[in-house]
Amino acid sequence: MPANLNRIAAAIAMDRWEEIGENTNIWNPDEEAQSFECDPLYIVCAQQRERENTDTQDILRTIMKSPRDLDKYMPEVTPEDMMQAKTIRNYYRNIIMVKQLKDEPLLDQMKLLNTIITDERAINRELIPVLNRMPAMYREDIETAELFKMAKEPSKAKKQIRLDEVVRFAGQVQKTVGGIVFKEFYFLGTHADTLFAATVRADTIEEAGWRYISKQGNIKVTGSAKRTKKINHELTYYDLMPDIEITK
C-alpha cells in the first residue's frame, strides 16, 4: 500500500479526519472495492451490539480473504442489526445528499462514506476502518446533534476567547479515538446559549472531576477557550483550555 494510503488509513482509524486533505488522492487502482456476500455493516453491528466499540477489522479482513468464514458470523446477525445498519446508512446518505445539493465538495472521509452507502456490499482495506467506526460515529453524531439543539451560534465566533461566564451542564458525549474512549462534557452559557466542552479520557481522575462538576448546577468558568466545529454539525462551540478555573 502506498505511503499516503497508510497515512490516510491510520488517520481514519484514529478518527483524525482533519489530517486528510481534500486534494489527497486516496484511491489505489489495485484496491478497488470487492463485493461482500452481505452488507458488512451487518457483521459490525452484530459484533458491537453487546460489546460497544469492539474492533471488527480483523473479522472483516478474514472474511474478505476467505468468504466462507462469513458462515461463522451470520448466525449472530439479528433483524435489529440489519435495521441498525440501514439506519446508519440512511443517516450518512442524507448528510451527503445535503452537501451535494449545496454544491459543497466532499472531503475524502465523505467520499469513503459515500462509497460504503452507495454500494451496500462494498469492502476493501481502506473501507474496513470506516465500517468498523460507523456505529460509534453514528451514536456520537446523534448524541451531539441533540446537545447542539440547545445552543445558538455565537454572534462573534472568534478563534480564541477569554471566558468569565456562568454556565450549566448540558450533557455528555462519548467518542472513541484509536481505541481510546473519551468523554466530552458540554456546558451551556446562561446568557448567550453558547456551548463549551471539556474533553477528557474516560475512567480517569479528570473524568471523575468533570462528572462531579457536572452535578454542581451553575458554575463560573474563567480562562480561555478555542473555537471548534464537529464534522457533520454546523454549530460552533468552544473547547475549554487547560488554564480555566472553576468556581461556584
| pLDDT bracket for residue 31 (50, 70, 90) | low
Map grid coordinates 505511503 to a residue.
Answer: 3
- Per-residue pLDDT, averaged over 28-54, amounts to 78
| Distance (Å, whole) CA 13 – CA 19 | 12
Cα 157 to chain center, whole Å?
23
Beta-strand ranges (E) seen in 124-234 are 160-177, 180-189, 195-201, 219-229
> Has this prediction a pTM greater than 0.75?
yes
Q: Which domain holds residue 114?
A: 3-144
| Distance (Å, whole) CA 81 – CA 205 | 35
Residue 234 sits in the same domain as residue 134: no
* Residues contacting residue 209 through CB under 8 Å, at least 6 positions apart: none
| pLDDT bracket for residue 168 (50, 70, 90) | very high
- Specify the pLDDT at position 33: 62
- Specify the pLDDT at position 194: 92
- Per-residue pLDDT, averaged over 6-18, amounts to 47
Residue 128 sits in the same domain as residue 163: no
- Specify the pLDDT at position 106: 78
- For residue range 149-166, list pLDDT tens digits in order: 999 988 777 899 998 999
Q: Which of 144, 174, 194 is the last residue of a domain?
A: 144
Residue 110 sits in the same domain as residue 201: no
Question: Do you know the residue count of the chain?
Answer: 248
Residue 127 sits in the same domain as residue 30: yes
| pLDDT bracket for residue 28 (50, 70, 90) | very low
